[in-house]
Amino acid sequence: MGSLEVYICQFAKLRRAPGSVWTATTKNQAPHKPLLLIALLDLIARGVVTSPFIDVREDLVELNELFTNYWRQVVPIRQTSSIAFPFSRLHNEPFWELVPVEALELDRKTINSINTVNQLRQVAIGGRIDKDLYALLQEEENRAVLRQALLESCFSDDAIKVLNEQAIIHAEAFSYNLDLLSKAHQPLVKEINALNNYRPASRNQGFRRAVVITYDHRCALCGVRIVTAEGHTVVDAAHIVPWSKTQNDDIRNGMALCKLCHWAFDEGMLGVSDSYAVITSSQIGVSPNAPGSLLTLSGRSIITPADQVLWPAQEYLHWHRRKYRLS
């Protein structure tokens, strides 16, 4: 039976690859494993991971987002990593087991060949941590102690500060997301009363999460939906009435839009009618423009959330039409 002291020791002694590519920020060793574990602690705190098993299809998108945010704080921008790398290599740690797909036996060679999420999903259905460790992680105090063991053993003092700041942003963003979802079933929110309680980065992340999930990663105007194996999505969370004018993050003042539709909407090239159909501006087809598929969207019903309460509010859409003289 594993004790907290045992897991503190195991977390502090992770097997990490050395190399000249790694700086004193990560104590001259690869940061993949500790960053993944820190992200996992966040998801357990949120109640997203509800068992010792971490599913590579159900849990990996959100886990990867948190992992990537932490990665960007301590690793130079030119260096990238797939979450599949630490997810598979943690199999070498005593508290983590990579669970293979049916009838497949995992060996070191197979595990060491995994570098992408697609490769990971071909050989594994998920990862499993010790039941005793999972039980301990249900307590906030234990999570804090184990997080500190990871931070102190794997990162410099300056890195610890920025990682702790990112952890606060993650927690605030999730809280803000829940706040937006609860308010979206109430009369239209003109402003968020608790706005000053959140950092701008937390607000941005929370609004994005609420809107993108509400639209299931699909562009409201053109309908495109692309989510990569790593969980990167084609859509942005767009405000209908700009946040700079109203400080209004009500989900009904937002839509999920792909990059092109987001730009076209913000420029008044596209709009939405009172019957929730796409409107195209007469400017869009003026020579020498080549609007491609955008003109074909005219009159097409927008993609709306499953919950009708969360559809874009008519008063915000009216503001946008009036501003750009769309009809």
Q: What is the pLDDT of residue 124?
A: 96
- How do residues 311-327 score in pLDDT, each as one tens digit? 999 999 999 999 999 98
Burial of residue 231 (CB within 10 Å: 0-12, 13-18, 19+) is middle
Residue range 63-88, pLDDT digits in tens: 999 999 999 999 988 888 899 999 99
In this prediction, what percent of the chain has a pLDDT beyond 90?
80
Query: Given this model, what pLDDT does residue 198 score?
Result: 87
Asked if pLDDT for residue 15 goes beyond 70, the answer is yes
Residue 177 banded pLDDT, cuts 50, 70, 90: very high
pLDDT at 281: 94
pLDDT in tens, 119-142: 999 999 999 999 999 999 999 999
Return the pLDDT at 220.
98
Tens-place pLDDT, residues 182-236: 888 888 766 555 566 789 999 999 999 999 999 999 999 999 999 988 888 999 9
pLDDT at position 191, please? 59
Domain boundaries, given as residue ranges, for the chain: 4-155, 169-324
Mean pLDDT of 18-22: 91
pLDDT given for residue 89 in this prediction = 96
- pLDDT mean over 21-30: 95
